[in-house]
Structure 1
Amino acid sequence: MKKLTALLFAALLGTTAQAAEYKIDTKGAHAFVQFRIKHLGYSWLYGRFDDFNGSFFYDDKAPEKSTVNVNIDVTSLNSNHAERDKHLRGSDFLHTEKFPTATFKSTSFEPTEDGKALLKGELTLRGVTKPLTIDVTNIGGGKDPWGGYRQGFSGTAEFDLKDFGIDYNLGPASQKVEMILDIEGIRI
């Protein structure tokens, strides 16, 4: 009877959120790395990276222990315009021939209020590594229909293009790029 009670208790614990490693669900198209930048100060130009992978550790009881690692294939840039994409992949911008991968590795996760946090880490882009802070919102977590457990977050960040060696003159309104990140992970 004690073994049955212990097994039942363990099964119940397995159905609630707990400290766990999650693989970012890029195969199911439940994760997005997007960007936007002002075009001449008149409108927004949006784009995304179609190929990336990564994982994160999350403990809802101790969120400050969370970590994130992401690798982005910057050659997968897609702004819905082939000629612009070719230019953005070139040496004026991402220089993907020389630097095909960007990475983000977290250094801290600081909860600020209900479901919100500051994720700090290092972004490496074009061979340059700089600190980056991402404003994060915990969307939620729970069981999925396939017997797994998922956790989702949304985040935004902003950085100066020149910080990563991109000095192409896009005009004064277009010096910063905004990142929009929506990540769903599957517990490993």
Structure 2
Amino acid sequence: ACAPITDANADLVHYVGTRMNSVAGKIKTRTPLDVTDTAFIENSPLSIGLVLKTAVGTEQEDATIATMSDLTAKAYVLQMLVDLYNRATLVMEKAKELLSKRSSAAAGQDSETCKAAIFADNLDDQVAGMNEKIYRLQLAARESYSASATELATIFRILDHMQSVDHRLYALIAEKYGTGVAERTLR
């Protein structure tokens, strides 16, 4: 059995939500952002600072944070996996470069101890396998992020449509029966 992760930031969605709440609270009270909040905004893969300013300005910070924390966490995961893949590719290229160089033994030493195969048996295959796993994780993260973004866009389209229907219905009732009836009926 695995031991539970005790890192307070192990749940990325919770961490992102907590950071977003902190930033939104400081925007609302016009308190300067601390170093952690500034770093969070600057390193966020989405324009979270602008989103939070807009949310606070429209008094929608709770709904915005609830909606955006999952998407932002998935964007972070995707960003980390892309970075990991790029770094692993660089390591693989450097390993190939080192393995391709021929070295000779120092005076009086056995040349067998200088062969790269001794310390790097199957290194190329191992690094390539690691890169392949990272790439598959990256694709899965991209699909998850894309699905969340599509779902969020669909929800916003439905809400926009419902709001449009509500406005048209209000206008029809107000025109036919007056604004008082429309207010009592729909508000």
TM-score of Structure 1 vs Structure 2, range by shorter chain:
under 0.3
Higher share of residues assigned helix:
2
Give TM-score scaled by structure 1 length. Answer: 0.18
Considering only CA atoms, is the larger Rg found in Structure 1 or Structure 2?
A: 2
Question: Which structure ranks higher in relative contact order (CA pairs < 8 Å, sequence separation ≥ 6)?
Answer: 1
Higher share of residues assigned strand:
1
Give TM-score scaled by structure 2 length. Answer: 0.18
